[in-house]
Amino acid sequence: MTYESLPVYSPSQINAIVRQILTEALPERLIVRGEIRDWKLHHSGHCYFLLKDQQAVLPAVMWANNFRTVRFRPADGMAVLATGYLDVYVAGGRYQLIVERLEPEGTGALQLAFQQMVAKLKAEGLFDPAKKRPLPRYPMRIGIVTSPSGAALHDICEGIQGRWPVARLLFFPVPVQGEGAAEQIARTIRWINQNKDRFALDLLIVGRGGGSLEDLWTFNEEVLARAIYDSQIPIISAVGHEIDVTVADLVADARASTPAKAGVVAVPDVREVLDQIGHYCSRLTNQMVSRLELAKAQFAAASASEVFTRPLTMIRSREQQIDELSVHLVDTLRSRVRRTVQVLDHYQVFVSRIEPHRLIGRCALAVSEARARASAAIASILAASRCQVEALAGRIQALDPRAVLARGYSITRNAGTGRIIRSIKDVELKDTILTELAGANIIESQVTAKYNQIRSVHGSDKQQGTG
Amino acid sequence: MAQTNNKELGKLSFEQAIEQLRKIVERIEQGQISLEESLQQYEMGMALIKHCRAILQQAEKRIEMVSTDQQGSDQMPSS
């Protein structure tokens, strides 16, 4: 075997062949499930990262134009489904996955982004029911903001015109999907609001027909949600099919589940309104007819009354009434005077019966009787008091010490001190003593001795004393 | 008086007119106004009904006008 027989390739050729083989061997588009590693967002907008499983890594790249459609923020460690194709980077000599679409595994990327957006705007109060503008009951000028190409415009117009041909419809064509669509719709809504005097719209309908979640994404964009929230003109959203709920639906003042249903939400049925007017008309007429009939009947009754038929009779009967009343009045006054005179007579009798002189005599008698009774009472009180005094004087006499003297007792005093002698100690030998007897008789004597009779029985010393 | 009212009627929006009509019907039905006043209100109500019906009929022409307008006469905001 000679090496000369071996074919010679350039690196470019090799890479081209590998690329061809890869392209033939693998499906045109495939999904790789893996975990993001080494995520790098280059300032060019392109993204470079690795998709990894337990054994291996696969280089991946996502170009800026594709990355713009990614609604969530990829990060290292995130489990993802990467949709794209395998290609060879010829200059670098390596193969890599060109990722066109990146979704977090589990929930879809758009679903996640939708949830994140709803949570964010809800926290800011953009869905607050209190902030919703009331819809006009009879909108006369309605603006429709949608795509000129889809069926939505036709559906919305049909829905309105079938019910309420009264409204004038103004159509504002906008793109409803793809890049920049949300911005364009938002700008249109703001522009309509800025020129609201010119358009004089009562109501705006913003919508589009059904489509994939991605197609409907425009109506989940924050920029559009804010324009709807800021609008002074009430807005009805009419996006997609019944089951689709977008951020625009949540922030709008009312939601129609589909463009075709927008009319039911936006406008009344003209037949019902005409019925209502007819109803008002007949109520008014009925009321008026019955009121007029009542008035006619009242007039007939009034004109049939005596006032109109026999006016003089009325006057005569009134005159008669006056006469009767005046007679009655005089009678009444007269009998009242009579009654008063009777009352006065009655009292006069009472007064004449009073007789003052007898009254005085009766009083004088009573006074003298009272006086006699008083002096008798005083005399008896005095007699009783005198008895009491004599009894007391007797008792006092019995207590007089001098009364005892009459029975033989005497009182002895020390002439020097004048004190009554009660003890032997009250006198000294040679003291002069005075002995008082009954009848105020006094004996004056001198103490010659002092002794105690009881003690003298036992003792020898003798002292003379008096007692 | 009814004539000046009629002049002012022309300026009323549909919503204002039908609201006023509703009030008139209620006032007359309550029966607390004089015959003369109810006659005035009745005339007013009839004028409102005429006005409302005229708006609803007039509009059918407007619709057609708008349908032809729709294709291109409305300008887009310049961005």
Which pLDDT score is estimated for A452? 80
Cβ atoms within 10 Å of A177's Cβ, excluding its own: 17
Name beta bridge partners: A236: A205, A254
Interface probe for A, chosen from B20, B73, B76, B78 (most Cβ of A below 10 Å), is: B76
What residues in B contact A286, CB-CB < 8 Å?
A: none
Token digits of residue A363: 């009083």
Determine the distance in angstroms separating the CA of A169 from the nearest CA of chain B, rounded to an integer.
6
Q: Which of residues 10-69 of B touch A (CB under 8 A)?
A: 13-15, 18, 21-22, 24-25, 28-29, 31, 35, 38-39, 42, 45-46, 49, 52-53, 55-56, 59-60, 62-63, 65-67
Last residue of a domain, one of A90, A106, A122: A106
Q: Quick one: pLDDT at residue A431?
A: 87
How many CB atoms neighbour CB A55 within 10 A? 5
Q: What pTM was estimated for this model as a whole?
A: 0.51
Q: Which of B66, B68, B71, B75 to mutate to test the interface with A (most CBs of A within 10 A)?
A: B66
Query: Which residues on A lie below 8 Å from B76 (Cβ)?
Result: 172-173, 188
For position A246, what pLDDT does the model report? Answer: 92
Tell me: pLDDT of B74 over 70: no
Predicted confidence at residue A106, as pLDDT, reads: 65
CA dist list (Å): A32 to A64, A68, A100, A224, A278: 19, 20, 11, 34, 69
Domain end residue (candidates: A235, A268, A301): A268
Identify whether the C-beta of residue A263 lies closer than 8 Å to the C-beta of residue A159.
Answer: yes
The structure tokens listed for A9 are 């390739």
Helix residue ranges per DSSP H, A134-269: 152-163, 181-194, 196-199, 222-230, 247-251, 262-266
How many domains does chain A contain in total? 3
Does one domain contain both A59 and A183?
no
For residue A304, the model assigns a pLDDT of: 79
Rounded-to-integer distance, Cα A413 and Cα A404, Å: 16
DSSP track, B17-70: HHHHHHHHHHHHHHT-S-HHHHHHHHHHHHHHHHHHHHHHHHHHHHHHHHHHHT
Q: Taking a contact as any Cβ pair under 8 Å apart, which residues of chain A between 267 and 326 contact chain B?
A: 270, 273-274, 276-277, 280-281, 283-284, 287-288, 291-292, 295
What CATH number has the domain bearing residue A191? 3.40.50.2300
Positive or negative, the Cα torsion across A156, A162, A167, A171? positive
For A416, the domain range is 406-466
**pLDDT on residue A83:** 92
Q: What are phi and psi of A157, to 5 degrees?
A: -65, -45
**Do A97 and A143 fall into the same domain?**
no
pLDDT, residue B11, reads 82
What pLDDT, on a 0 to 100 scale, did the predictor assign at position A199?
87
Low-confidence ranges of chain A (pLDDT < 70): 1-2, 106-109, 306-307, 455-467
Q: Is A137 in contact with B15 (Cβ distance < 8 A)? A: yes
Task: State the ipTM, two decimals.
Answer: 0.74
Nearest CA in chain A to B43: A284
**Residue B65 binned pLDDT confidence (cut-offs 50, 70, 90):** very low
- Looking at the fold, whether A228 and A149 belong to one and the same domain comes out as yes
The amino acid at residue B42 is Y
- The contacts of residue A221 (CB under 8 Å, 6+ apart) are A182, A183, A186, A247
The last residue of a domain, from among A85, A106, A127? A106
Chain A residues whose beta carbon lies within 8 Å of the beta carbon of residue B53:
274, 277
pLDDT at A456: 55
Is residue A392 situated within a structural domain? no
Q: What pLDDT score was predicted for residue B6? A: 60
pLDDT tens digit sequence for B5-48 = 566 777 888 999 999 999 999 888 887 788 888 888 889 999 99
